[in-house]
Amino acid sequence: MFIKFNKMSNKFTCVEDFEKYAAGTLPRMVLGYYQSGACEEYTLSINKKAFNKLRIVPRVLRDVQNRDLSVTVQGVQVKVPIGVSPCAMHKMAHEDGECGSARAAGNHGAIFILSTLSTCSLEEVAEKAPDTVKWFQLYIYKDRNLTASLIKRAEKAGYKALVLTVDAPVFGIRYKDIKNNFTLPSHLKLGNFSNELSKMNNTSGSGLTKYVMSLFDDRLVWDDVKWLKSITSLPIIVKGILNATDAKIAADLGCSGVFVSNHGGRQLDTSPATIEALPSIVKEVGHRIDVYLDCGIRHGTDVFKALALGAKMVFLAQPILWGLTFNGQKGAEEVLNIVINEFDNTMALTGCVSLDQIEKDMVVHESLYSKI
């Protein structure tokens, strides 16, 4: 199922090439926001490095001619176990914004998760990417009527699940945003809101942090998940889980999935990489509900490793923004091309023709070999 690359960008052979392009193109304030992590960015750095500590042990001499990468997720079959994770304000990268990212995902048969803090409204994305399987990422605002209205709008627009972010009662301390006085550029607005909620005030320090502190509910507890379940029939997936005990609580409350995530290393610095936290969470709840993972995925081999350790799907965030920066929707499609092709290649080289043939013992920690 190899996909041909757009000739225009055939010099770009990996995700890193797109990131380098974006780093030389985006304004400093925007690049700093997209690229940065919390404090000294230790967790940001290990999100990727932790994947490199894992070794893939292939099987050979198995017929791999006909490979199938499809998976059924929340009752819907998608073509690949790779989706687009929620990230805010895509129009800072390119005018195509979240509509372009959603169409790119749909053209690959992938799931797209729209952020509450998107620069295209959830209705606009639904209209312009009608064939894409879409989930809506939700922050709970202090104004519960506002929160409920977002959910009702998502239901009406055809979103298939709610992804509740739970690791941001306050926003992490991000040095680059503070130094750059980050705020949403004045020509843009948050698409899901009107009036003052659609803008961030120009201020010293991070305008986004001040927006969050003034509007998001920092009293969020597990009872609020029960409240969500009482007002919607959509599956609820809890995002920001790094602890197996929290994963069990989510499963016990009837959530449909947990999302192993450290918010791209942007919240609590020195928290574990997601691939490090994944095995314990899978062991605790993987037999009951779906377990998803984001943060640090840059290669098809990363996808394979996460699935081998029990993730049902993985999701990309930053790489999509780098693709958008390069060439809007087409650039995002090409980034997905690269990762999907690499994953398909990994499947072939490990002797797997379907996702259920990916076995846990195909991935081992490097320490196993260092002892030999």
One-character DSSP codes across 10-38: TT--SHHHHHHHHHTTS-HHHHHHHH--S
In the prediction, which pLDDT does 214 show? 85
Residues 25-40 have pLDDT tens digits of 999 999 999 999 999 9
Q: What is the mean pLDDT of the chain?
A: 94
Radius of gyration of the chain (CA): 20
- 84 in Cβ contact with 110 (< 8 Å): yes
Q: Where are the alpha helices (DSSP H) in 25-143?
A: 28-35, 42-52, 97-107, 122-128
pLDDT at 3 over 90: no
Residues 181-215 have pLDDT tens digits of 999 999 999 999 988 888 887 777 788 888 878 88
Known binding-site residues for FMN equal: 86-88, 115, 137, 165, 239, 261, 294-298
**CA 146 vs CA 138, 152, 191, 197, 306: distances in Å:** 11, 10, 14, 11, 36
| Phi, psi torsion values for 238, nearest 5 degrees | -95, 120
Task: Return the percent helix, strand and coil in the chain, to nearest 5.
Answer: 45, 15, 40
User: Is 94 annotated in the active site?
Assistant: no
Per annotation, catalytic residue among 90, 94, 263, 299 = 263
Percent of the chain with pLDDT over 90: 88
In the prediction, which pLDDT does 371 show? 65
Known binding-site residues for glyoxylate equal: 33, 139, 174, 263, 266
In the prediction, which pLDDT does 212 show? 79
Query: Pick from 90, 173, 110: which is nearest to 333 by CA?
Result: 110
Domains of the chain, CATH where assigned: 15-359 (3.20.20.70)
Instruction: Kindly state the DSSP code that residue 294 receives in the 8-state scheme.
Output: E
- 277 in Cβ contact with 260 (< 8 Å): yes
H/E stretch holding 327 reads helix 318-349
Residue 192, helix vs strand vs coil: coil
